[in-house]
């Protein structure tokens, strides 16, 4: 049962990410037909060097805004941990749990909204934090963040 729920929240996050990328004018995906038009092959030679289809399920504006509110709560939660994170890195303490909780928002944002790979996110986090982060750790952080969002959406 938890795999189905976990898959559902990831599908909803992927649809939310596509919805946020398509809301340049602030209107969102207004219809399933518009969503089909928006998922035409993407090929941007400056950024990604391959054409692909964005396969995502349609998400209504109400559902997308629910996910957006949950992501805002996660962002506030991560911001509160930022001070503790700075002290931890300054004193060179090894608290992986605090690190994972602090990085949940940036990982979810970059993966679902920015459509970044786990290895790219790991490289960027390693540069910004100064501590080695692997793509396996990024996947674990993403799983924890998806669980956090799932709990917020269920409540």
- Per-residue pLDDT tens for 88-104? 666 655 667 777 888 88
Regarding pTM above 0.75, the answer is: no
With CA atoms as reference, report the closest residue to 12 among 52, 53, 51, 69. Answer: 69
- What's the pLDDT at 121? 93
- What's the pLDDT at 31? 63
Contact yes or no for 118/138 (Cβ under 8 A): yes
- CB 35: neighbour CB atoms within 10 A? 20
More confident residue, 52 or 19: 19
Highest mean pLDDT among 15-19, 43-47, 53-57, 141-145: 141-145
The predicted model gives 123-131 an average pLDDT of 88
Is 67's pLDDT higher than 70?
yes
- What's the pLDDT at 45? 44
């Amino acid at each position: 049962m938890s795999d189905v729920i976990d898959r559902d929240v990831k599908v909803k996050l992927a649809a939310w990410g596509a919805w946020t990328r398509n809301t340049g004018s602030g209107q969102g995906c207004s219809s399933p037909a518009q969503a089909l038009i928006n998922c035409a092959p993407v090929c941007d030679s400056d950024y990604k060097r391959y054409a692909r289809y964005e396969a995502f399920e349609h998400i209504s504006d109400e559902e997308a805004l629910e996910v957006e509110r949950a992501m805002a709560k996660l962002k506030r939660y991560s911001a509160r941990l930022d001070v503790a994170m700075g002290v931890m890195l300054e004193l060179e303490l090894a608290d992986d749990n605090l690190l994972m909780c602090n990085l949940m928002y940036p990982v979810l944002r970059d993966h679902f909204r920015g459509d970044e790979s786990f290895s790219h996110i790991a490289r960027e986090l390693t540069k910004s934090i100064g501590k080695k982060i692997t793509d396996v750790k990024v996947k674990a952080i993403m799983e924890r963040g998806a669980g956090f969002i799932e709990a917020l959406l269920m409540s």
